[in-house]
Amino acid sequence: MTIELILGGARSGKSRHAERRAQESGAAVTVIATAEALDEEMAARIRRHQADRPAAWRTVEAPRALAATLQREAAAGRCLIVDCLTLWLTNLLEGAEQLPPGADAGALPALRAEREALLATLPQLPGQIILVANEVGLGLVPETPLGRLFRDEAGRLNQQVAQLADTVTFVAAGLPLVLKQG
């Protein structure tokens, strides 16, 4: 079992790097997609990602129940790509706009339960797991409380997954920089 976390900004090449790593594995590949096509632009992005992948790769949608999906799909000789943790987190932040200023996402039971399940599940999985996530902490401080909550929770999640990962890679301008090699 190996866990790899690939971080980067928007359009950094992180998904393409994850796909390259999966192809190099020689294993059967399943992409676990967390995006939801809530508008036509997102639907077009999803179609473009699907068209870029090899036809033999399976795609499984898991906008929220990621740990359960990983448990069901992981197997020896299989490589799973989770693309991406940041969209998954966004899906779980539903209702966060009602939180009082300064609250953390621990006040959202679904988010707390799913994050705990993911972090408990990852070290137990067979096969190769490649997780893609956005690094959102390099920019300006968001103006809104919800934006700051999202940035903070994404940073915490990335740190927690990085601790579990064997390899952590940061991608900028399509160039991978290995931050952790286990």
Residue 176 bridge partners (DSSP) = 171
Provide φ and ψ at 23, rounded to 5°.
Answer: -60, -40
Q: What token pair was written down for 32?
A: 């676990």
Is the separation of the CB atoms in 34 and 84 below 8 Å?
yes
Euclidean distance between the first and the last CA atom of the chain, given in angstroms as a whole number: 12
Q: What token pair was written down for 111?
A: 């988010």
Is the separation of the CB atoms in 69 and 80 below 8 Å?
no
Annotated binding site for GTP: 8-15, 33-35, 61, 83
Is the separation of the CB atoms in 7 and 59 below 8 Å?
no
Alpha helices in 65-144 (DSSP H): 66-73, 85-92, 109-121
d(CA 74, CA 129): 8
d(CA 111, CA 94): 9
Active site amino acids: 49
